[in-house]
Structure 1
Amino acid sequence: MTPKDLVLALFSAAFLNHDPEAARQMVSTDYVQHNPQVPTGTEGLMGLISLVGQAGMTATTHRVITEGNLVVLHNTYDNADAFGASSLAAFDIFRVEDGKVVEHWDNLQPIPETTASGRGMTDGAVEITDLDKTQENKALVLGFVRDVLGGAAPENVSKYMDPEVYMQHNPSIEDGLSGLMAAIEAFAAQGMIITKFEPQFAVAEGNFVFVATDAVMGGEPWAFFDLWRVEDGKIVEHWDVVSPIPSEMAHGNGKF
């Protein structure tokens, strides 16, 4: 199986069929877990599968982005109260080696009833196009992250996006560059100033680019998992899942 096929099969076994023994066949014996609440290793995953099965948690996958041995799933979890809310938006990232899933990262965020832009956290475009532009689009997005979000050269923003064409799925931010800048100013006024924004890895496929970032906001550690869609050399759409990084975890692997 391809990495994508393997990850989708594992995800189906774990979160749709709640079948730990089927899932066990697809993960390595030294499976590395980065979800802060779940113990690392194969048995930690088996326990999670049993828990979500008992809770009746269901999952819907909206997008799948694959590059090399990394596979990103953009998901919604329902009946997810065991993880903090009845409905959660999530990004799950899996690493595949030698025909087994060997590592997992994720970020989860409660889905609010209303959003600033009127868009949901997971709706919008899904079609993967422009496969020949994957690396070009990846470089564009990483430049935007470095210059605009990381603050290296925010004056270059028009190089990366049309100020008027930026469809926003973050529930707190309105569309367009004006919406993004207004949100940054509002967060700063609340003391939520970003002082660190360091991408840990990026996964790109055609017109979609995912970036996982280790950040410090308001003096506290946060994880930003972002997905951007690129069209004709400009960023046009954005989804994210943002969560604080807890000081205590069920393992020693860290968030990243």
Structure 2
Amino acid sequence: MTPQEIVLGAFAAIFTNFDPEAAQDLLKPDYIQHNASVPTGAAPVLGFIPALKESGIGVTTHRAISEGDLVVLHSTYDNAQVFGADTLVGFDIFRVADGKVAEHWDNLQPLVSDTVSGRSMTDGPTEITDLEKTAENKVLVEGFIADVLQGGAPENITEYISTETYLQHSPMVGDGLDGLGTALAAMAEAGQAMSYSETHLVVAEGNFVLAASEGLIGSTPTAFFDLFRVDNGKIVEHWDTVSEIPARMAHDNGKF
């Protein structure tokens, strides 16, 4: 099986079929966990499956992106009270090794229905295209992160983002460069300026690139998972989830 097939199989076993035996076959016993609330190892995940089934949770996966041994799933979790909200939007990143899922990172955010752009946090294109441009598109997004999000050369923003089409799914941000600028200015004025300090993972497949980063909102340590769609050498669409990085976790692996 491909890494994506292994991940989708494990994800279905845990969240759809609620099948601990099937999940056990697809998770390494020393599975490394970065979800802040779940202890590391396969055993805690397997032990949690009956509670997931009892909770009535349902998961819809909107996008799956793969690069090498890494697989990204962009999903909505309904009836997700066991994770702290009625509905959550999440990015899950899995690393596959030796035919099993070996490591997991995620970032979950409560669903915001009333967004500035009028788009949902998950709608929009899902088809992976331009596979031959994967490396080029990854370099473009890495440049955008370094220059704009991390502040290396923010004046270069139009080298990365289209000035004609920039569709936004981040709940509090409007479309276009003007929408982005307005949101960032409002956050700064409210004492909640957003800054990126380090990007830990970048996963690209064709026209989609996912970046997992950390930084601050105001003085609060924050995880930013950003998904970009690239077309003709420019970023034209953006989805994200943003969550606070807790000071205490159920393991010693850290958020990243």
TM norm structure 1: 0.98
- 2:56 is the alignment partner of 1:56: yes
User: Deviation of residue 112 (structure 1)?
Assistant: 1.6
Q: Equivalent residue for 2:81?
A: 81
1:203-222 equivalent positions in 2, closer than 5 A: 203-222=203-222
1:19-30 equivalent positions in 2, closer than 5 A: 19-30=19-30
Q: Equivalent residue for 1:250?
A: 250
Distance 1:254 1:58 in 2: 27
Q: Equivalent residue for 1:6?
A: 6
Report if aligned partners of 2:96, 2:102 keep a CA contact under 8 Å in 1.
Answer: yes
Unaligned runs of 5+ in 2: none
Give the counterpart letter for 1:153 in structure 2.
Answer: A
1:171-190 equivalent positions in 2, closer than 5 A: 171-190=171-190
User: Deviation of residue 196 (structure 1)?
Assistant: 4.0
Question: Residues 141-167 of structure 1, C-alpha deviation per residue, up to 9 Å, x if partnerless?
Answer: 111111111111111011111223100
Distance 1:57 1:180 in 2: 34
Identity %: 57
Distance 2:113 2:136 in 1: 36
Q: Equivalent residue for 2:136?
A: 136
Report if aligned partners of 1:66, 1:203 keep a CA contact under 8 Å in 2.
Answer: yes
- 2:163 is the alignment partner of 1:166: no
User: Deviation of residue 195 (structure 1)?
Assistant: 4.2
Report if aligned partners of 1:170, 1:239 keep a CA contact under 8 Å in 2.
Answer: yes
RMSD of Structure 2 on Structure 1 (CA): 0.9
Report if aligned partners of 1:38, 1:48 keep a CA contact under 8 Å in 2.
Answer: no
Report if aligned partners of 1:169, 1:239 keep a CA contact under 8 Å in 2.
Answer: yes
Report if aligned partners of 2:196, 2:213 keep a CA contact under 8 Å in 1.
Answer: no
Report if aligned partners of 2:187, 2:193 keep a CA contact under 8 Å in 1.
Answer: yes
Give the counterpart letter for 2:11 in structure 1.
Answer: F
Q: Equivalent residue for 1:202?
A: 202
Give the counterpart letter for 1:202 in structure 2.
Answer: V
Unaligned runs of 5+ in 1: none
Q: Equivalent residue for 2:115?
A: 115
- 2:151 is the alignment partner of 1:151: yes
Q: Equivalent residue for 1:106?
A: 106
Distance 1:194 1:175 in 2: 18
User: Deviation of residue 44 (structure 1)?
Assistant: 1.1
Q: Equivalent residue for 1:239?
A: 239
Distance 2:164 2:51 in 1: 45
Question: Residues 81-101 of structure 1, C-alpha deviation per residue, up to 9 Å, x if partnerless?
Answer: 121211110000000001111
Give the counterpart letter for 2:42 in structure 1.
Answer: T
Question: Residues 91-142 of structure 1, C-alpha deviation per residue, up to 9 Å, x if partnerless?
Answer: 0000000111100010100112210000000000001000000000000011
TM norm structure 2: 0.98
Give the counterpart letter for 1:174 in structure 2.
Answer: G
Give the counterpart letter for 1:253 in structure 2.
Answer: N
